[in-house]
Amino acid sequence: MDGIASDVAVGVKRGSDELLSGSLYNSPNSGMSNGTSNGSDSKKLRVEDRMDAPPSRVLHIRKLPNEVTETEIIALGLPFGKVTNILTLKGKNQAFLELGTEEAAMTMVNYYTAVTPHVRNVPIYIQYSNHKELKTDNAGNQRAQAVLQAVSAVQSGGTPTSGSTASESALTPAPSPVLRIIIDNMFYPVTLDVLQQIFSKFGTVMKIITFTKNNQFQALLQYNDPVNAQQAKVALDGQNIYNACCTLRIDYSKLVNLNVKYNNDKSRDYTRPELPAGDGQPAVDPSVAAAFSKDSNSLLGKIPDGVLKKRVLCFGGEEDDCVMPVAGALSPLSAAAAAAAAAGRVALSGHSGASGVLLASNLNEEMVTPQSLFTLFGVYGDVQRVKILYNKKDSALIQMADANQAQLAMSHLNGQKMYGKIIRVTMSKHQTVQLPREGLDDQGLTKDFTNSPLHRFKKPGSKNFQNIFPPSATLHLSNIPPDITEEDLRVLFSNSGGTVKAFKFFQDHKMALLQMTTVEEAIQALIDLHNYNMGDNHHLRVSFSKSTI
């Protein structure tokens, strides 16, 4: 695939991260050789196929730029799950990042296999570590631990633990709930709505005022709590909104409360949607204001359809290739892809002319069908056509509605287990999947799903756009008939070949969470039971959940 470094490290030789042995556990900076710069010892590494290296929730990150901060390293992992520990080896330009679960680490490696990660515009390399757990001496790693505590608290919706020596030494109390934001290198438009989408990740945004001062776009943004302002400043200061541009410079304002008179594209009070628009300013739709006033679950937040009439994201490494206007709301990227792109840490491969066709290989040719591929890949986009290759039945071409959906499906499904085999998903050189000539029997290997009623994303503004998650052992069930019991569903999902580990009805009993023993079992259950007819025309809807029971 164009734009992807050929030596992305997705596997590691045994012992290649022995930097963590011995005294390093007790002193993160001891034994470092300044003679090794920018990961030049990577020559010792044997880059192997990711499938040959055992997955671990500890990831080894190489070739980091000299000036990298702990916040930037932690930010690489945030879109994929909880980050539980970090160790930086600045003399080696390397770091170790521990995620909360092995599944989160696998999703992160899978994603960055397809999309070369960048920190400060420098390509970096991420691979599994041989260590299953990261042991660090907090006393010698205070700054990193404090940043980790603040950023992790944001992710879990909490606040940093007070009284912590590490926290107090690195994070002073926020003097104000109001942040002053300056945008440097503003090559592309940054709107009030863009700021709200990014900053709402860190707490409830109450008010925003935007203005131009000294020929620079600036903003004042007020949270409901100074702690949220502190967390946002720690995590976002110095980050790019778009790839290689629109850098956030954040400081505390001397103001402690903003007085907003109008709700328009220059200022907004999310607590008072009834405010007038002001002379000559476009008014804000009340439903949009209400949607934006709610906390969001990803860095880019919830984007009501049509709010952003023009939006630019960088989709490639070359400057000439990276402008891609998107009409209406943002394309339905995953929380991971969108968050990473928004913070300028990665550039999504390809550009506006990229293909929407995927090649899936290492399939179980005895079990796989066009319908099963349609159902699984349909979690991440609207599958148009599927063709299992006649002469190579362990491979298939899958045409998605567009290149963004293809990228999303690839990042989530590459390396997952389907019918007992770890599947490979890559971008295909084909622009479309050809249907067989009329009258030609291809044994049902090709199927056209263009007009399928089961497409999840054909309706503009569908809530499905906000509920795209990596494959997980926990499934979200909806459209459950009122007379169906927990036991009914447990039996149904057990019959798909797995074991139901936990179950929880939502209050109205129309939806539920159901946890299988493994991700593979959940994938199988979703393939088998999505759109299952429960009677009285109630077709069960199944998707992956970010929750656990």
Q: What angle do CA 542, 358, 62 make, to 5 degrees?
A: 95
Q: Are strands 245-252 and 240-242 parallel, antiparallel or unpaired?
A: antiparallel
Listed as ranges, residues in the chain with pLDDT below 70 are: 1-53, 137-146, 149-173, 187-188, 243-245, 279-354, 460-462, 466
Cα dist. 162→12, 77, 86, 177, 402 in Å? Answer: 39, 24, 20, 18, 47
DSSP string spanning 436-451?
A: PPTT---TT-EEE-TT
Q: Is 358 helix (H, G, I), strand (E, B) or coil?
A: strand
Q: What is the model's pLDDT at position 408?
A: 84
Cα dist. 218→164, 181, 252, 528 in Å? Answer: 34, 5, 13, 52
Q: What is the model's pLDDT at position 146?
A: 67
Nearest to 54 by CA among 124, 117, 113, 102: 102
Nearest to 252 by CA among 271, 237, 267: 237
DSSP string spanning 464-529?
A: GGG------SEEEEE---TT--HHHHHHHHHTTTS-EEEEEE-TTSS-EEEEESSHHHHHHHHHHH
Q: What is the model's pLDDT at position 47?
A: 38
- pLDDT by residue (tens digit) across 22-65? 333 333 333 333 333 444 343 333 333 344 568 999 999 999 99
0.85 exceeded by pTM: no
Nearest to 435 by CA among 422, 421, 445, 425: 445
Q: Which region, left, alpha or beta, applies to residue 415 given φ > 0 means left and ψ of -120 to 50 means alpha?
A: left
In the numeric block, which tokens belong to residue 318?
Answer: 């070359």
Q: What is the model's pLDDT at position 400?
A: 94
Give the whole-angstrom CA distance, residue 58 versus residue 131: 6
- pLDDT by residue (tens digit) across 452-492? 999 998 876 667 776 788 899 999 999 999 999 999 999 99
Q: What is the model's pLDDT at position 137?
A: 64
Work out the number of other CB atoms within 10 angstroms of the CB of residue 58: 23
Nearest to 341 by CA among 411, 398, 402: 411
Domains in the chain and their CATH numbers?
A: 58-149 (3.30.70.330), 178-269 (3.30.70.330), 357-456 (3.30.70.330), 466-544 (3.30.70.330)
Nearest to 38 by CA among 87, 93, 90: 93
Give the whole-angstrom CA distance, residue 199 versus residue 59: 27
**Would you say 208 and 263 are in contact if contact means Cβ atoms under 8 Å apart?**
no
Q: Are strands 94-99 and 83-89 parallel, antiparallel or unpaired?
A: antiparallel
Cβ neighbours of residue 230 closer than 8 Å, sequence gap 6 or more: 150, 171, 173, 174
Q: What is the model's pLDDT at position 206?
A: 92
